[in-house]
Chains A and B, each alone.
Chain A
Amino acid sequence: MEPIVSVKNVSKTFPAGKNLLGRPNKFVHAVNNVSFDIYRGETFSVVGESGCGKSTTGRLIDHLLVPDSGEIWFDGKDISKLSQAEMRPLRKNIQMIFQDPAGSLNPRMRVEDLVEEPLLIHTNLSKEERMKIVHELLETVGLSAKHAKRYPHEFSGGQKQRIGIARALTVKPELIIADEPISALDVSIQAQVLNLLHDLQQKFNLTYLFISHDLSVVEMISDRIAVMYLGYVVELAPKTVLYKNPAHPYTQALLSAVPIPDPGHQQERIILEGDIPSTINLPKGCPFAARCKQCRPECLETKPIQTEIEPGHFVSCHLYK
């Protein structure tokens, strides 16, 4: 299978402090030397805790941010160095769904105008043709054409997210980057939106990059998963492998920390001590060393190299060499 997206050794930093002359001298290392491929038609998930660089990774692929180093290939083309103008025709193929559905819809626009807008930019269709597509899409995402004339505030959170999804689908994208699309929704609504995303993928043959902190949701929707910590991908594996046989100590701790909605369930919990360290001064050795129970002297000194411990299962840890 050919990859639709290839991320190759990508790093991104943000300035965090300035010296006397106003030049930045401190940097937040948000994404560090990250590489992965996303194949056509799959759901690739990036999981991790806040500040691990998962959203930055999504924004880099969507070219909302430009990487400091490394390459991002989309459809056989390196897009990391394109200008905004060069990128524009390609944007049609990559669409985003955001976490906060209320914040990503213009409150002064009607739903039909919101959903129509991408068509105005990317196509030459007539008003009638555009409206036909808009109304069809609203039905597809579980709203109805009668909702088209309303404003965003007249909808509940789940419905707003449906509008956001319809908007992303208008230009028939190949890749959808969904950044925590259900985190702001209530439990009973989360399931509705997840099921919708699943149906749409089958119907339109979409590829998803799904960014989330919730491991139970990720397990449901993904084919392959990358676990990020402190801007590094620490483990990457197909879903079934990752959940059955997590190799990296961080993945193990993360999985064991998820509360299971079953009072009869007894589990050995790995409680991590301390907090996630700052990404301004990255540790010299393994990023996870400070909180790792299996930390050895070499972990503090050298960065582990990504190794393939079984087909398709990559781990960056000194325990596996």
Chain B
Amino acid sequence: MVQERLLTVNKLRTEFFQSKKSSVTAINEISFHLDKGEILGLVGESGCGKSVTSLSIMRLLNFTSGKVTKGEVIFDGEDLQKISENEMRKIRGGKMSMIFQEPMSSLNPAMRIDKQMIEGIRLHTNMSKEEARKHASKMLSQVGIPDPERVLKNYPHQLSGGMSQRVMIAMAMSCNPQMLIADEPTTALDVTIQAQILELMKKIQQEEGMSILLITHDLGVVAEMCTRVIVMYAGEIVEEAPVEELFNHPTHPYTEGLIASVPKLGSGVKVLPSIPGSVPDLSMLPKGCRFAPRCKYATERCRNEEPDLFQISANQKCRCWRQER
């Protein structure tokens, strides 16, 4: 089967400016791609740049001090860094949409659900108000909301967390996007509700053949949902691999440590192997490999020279001197 590229991110760098001269590089020249119909996982701990990556792709950094200073984002053959804000607005919510971690705070609390949904739908299609309302109601029942007409008349505070996240998904799906960016979509939800939402996302993905970029810190969710995974550490990609490879043969010491430090249900261990130390401050990065101070394999070379992202097999990449080819 020939895979069709949907999104290519090429050497993307985003910096946050504290003043004109001083800046912190949140993501440093990251490159990856997303094929049509695949679920790509983006894993890492807080501050590793995974959310900044999604905001940079969507060009949503305007309200922060962040700026993309290098690189390109090619979506469906178009460089998103070059088009105008007006054209970008047509893509956002249309061909490409996004769901966030906090469903409660991403909905407008002062607007009924119907108004919020119709607004989005009419922006991207030429449906009339009634048609858009009907479409919204159809979308809500597709995401498993039992009584869509009632929910449409509700305000966000009248909905539970799981319900709001369903509304968010319905809203994101309502213009038939080719790509969905899900930034920690289930982190704020309870486990049983998380299971409902993940099941729903998988179902929609299979039915619509959509691509999903799933950003999460939960390796369990990754194992369950993704076909391919990218691991980020301190603003860089440290490993890229198909999901089975990543869990069975992690090549980067960080990935290895991360997988080992997650308690697994039914394993019966009392003490977990853990990674010593903590994530470096992005404004005071160590010289050489960014993971070297916490790495048990670190050598003199690791502390002085930063490794490249080596291609170690057809579909696996790793940023570690031990994998140099």
A255→B192 CA distance, assembly (Å): 9
Give the bracket for the number of chain B residues in contact with chain A.
35 or more
A49→B243 CA distance, assembly (Å): 29
**What are the interface flags for B194-218 relative to A under an 8 Å C-beta threshold, 1 for contact and 0 otherwise?**
1110110000000000000000011
Cβ contact within 8 Å between B266 and A257: no
Cβ contact within 8 Å between A265 and B223: yes
Q: A186-B46, A220-B270, A271-B196 are in contact. Are A255 and B223 (CB under 8 A)?
A: no
Q: Which residue of A lies closest to B254 (CB)?
A: A188
Cβ contact within 8 Å between A263 and B262: no
Q: How many residues of A contact B (CB 8 A)?
A: 42
Cβ contact within 8 Å between B265 and A260: yes
Residue in contact with A243 in the complex, picked from B46, B196, B265, B272, CB distance below 8 Å? B265
Cβ contact within 8 Å between A198 and B190: no
A269→B192 CA distance, assembly (Å): 10
Cβ contact within 8 Å between B196 and A261: no
Binds B, one of A11-19, A211-219, A306-314: A211-219
Q: B residues touching A (Cβ–Cβ < 8 Å)?
A: 45-46, 146, 160, 162-163, 190-196, 198-199, 217-224, 243-244, 247-248, 257-259, 261-266, 268-276, 278-279
By a CB distance below 8 angstroms, the chain B residues around A49 are: 190-193
Cβ contact within 8 Å between B261 and A191: yes
Cβ contact within 8 Å between B265 and A257: no
Cβ contact within 8 Å between B274 and A259: no
Q: Which residue of A lies closest to B227 (CB)?
A: A263
Q: Is A254 an interface residue (CB 8 A)?
A: yes
CB neighbors of B among A255-308 (8 A): 255-265, 269, 271-276
Q: Is A195 an interface residue (CB 8 A)?
A: yes
By a CB distance below 8 angstroms, the chain A residues around B247 are: 261-264
By a CB distance below 8 angstroms, the chain A residues around B244 are: 263-264
Cβ contact within 8 Å between B192 and A187: no
Cβ contact within 8 Å between B46 and A188: no
CB neighbors of B among A133-174 (8 A): 156, 158-159
Q: A156-B278, A215-B265, A260-B265 are in contact. Are A188 and B258 (CB under 8 A)?
A: yes
Cβ contact within 8 Å between A191 and B273: yes
